[in-house]
Amino acid sequence: MLPFKVVVFFALYFAASQLHAQQAPFHAAETLGMLNAGQLQEVSGIIASTKKPGFYFVHNDSGDAARIYLINGKAEQVATYQLENCEVRDCEDIARYSYRGTNYLVLGDIGDNRGKRKDIHLYLFPEPTFEEGTSSYIIPDSVIRKVHLRYPDKPRDAEAFFVDPLDGSLYLISKRDFKSQIYQASLFSSAPVDSLLLKEVGKLDNNFMTAADISSDGRFIAIKNLVNVYFWERGENETVAQCLRRVPRRLDYTIEPQGEAICFDLSGTALLTVSERALGLSAPLYYYKKY
């Protein structure tokens, strides 16, 4: 019998082949470097740093502590950031949002393989700094905001989300539904709260989504599963939910061993992906430049 992940791979491949989508306007992948750091075995999220252009924050999924890592443009680990007094179960994605002049990172403890978690959690904190010669940092509890999320009906597994830079809304995409569900919540608002009920705002025509991001200007959206990267260009005055109802274009994607992380660069003119290190192998940091 084929392993479950292999079965899923082929199911996704043939399902995706039925989607009549044009190719997204990106060049083929360029390898920037190989992710070899011993601490980074199961990278599941990546986001560009605003304070250190050309560098990226990444994190592992289940099995790691509450921490993120900074890598450079060659995929070399340069720093570790521990979130003080935080416990996580399964961090699956990371996002960024600028609020009142401060750039925040949003770490999503949203994984739920068995669909049993009553609440899932987000950790919001100002983007940390990096200084040459210092590789270990503590993000103090005093600057971390923990937000509890709950689905409107039942628990679900999810590995992908982003925050709309235009209005601070969180968009979370489920993984294991026949058609991935899209959920929304007002994460950044004039009166922030620490417990939010997600609202279903749409569905995608595919499933098993493992990562998502939106460009810094809110114009472009990318969502991926293990075999495809889907790309949308958002129209003027169009909401995210309206945008995602349209048929996406597909990236000329180089399939990774277990690709669960994607982000735009700061300019929104390139996409980057990186994989878990399946079987202990190195994982390339891929760079896709927009035409």
Query: Can you list the domains of the chain with their CATH numbers?
Result: 4-289 (2.120.10)
Return the pLDDT at 10. 45
Which amino acid makes up residue 42? E
Residues 212/230, Cβ–Cβ less than 8 Å: no
The pTM (predicted TM-score) of the whole model is 0.92
Take residue 173 and report the two structure tokens written for it.
């995409």
Residue whose tokens read 């949002």: 97
Distance of alpha carbon 18 from alpha carbon 119, whole angstroms: 35
pLDDT number for residue 193: 77
Q: Give the C-alpha separation, 36 to 289, whole Å.
A: 23
Residue 269 backbone class (left: φ over 0; alpha: ψ -120 to 50; beta: rest): alpha
**Coil, strand or helix at 193:** coil
- In which residue are the tokens 């810094």 written? 216
The pLDDT, as a whole number, for residue 1 is: 39
Q: Tokens for 159?
A: 């590995």
Contacts of 7 (CB under 8 A, 6+ apart): none
In 3D space, the residue among 148, 188, 143, 146 whose CA is nearest the CA of residue 170 turns out to be: 188
Rounded CA separation 175/195 (Å): 22
Residues in the chain: 291
Residue 109 CA, distance from chain mean position: 11
Give the β-pairing of 229-233 and 220-224.
antiparallel
Where the chain has pLDDT below 70, the residues are 1-21, 190-191
Cβ contacts of residue 209 below 8 Å, gap of 6+? 159, 160, 173, 174, 175, 180, 223, 224, 225
Q: Are 274 and 29 in contact (CB under 8 A)?
A: no
Residue 20, pLDDT score? 59
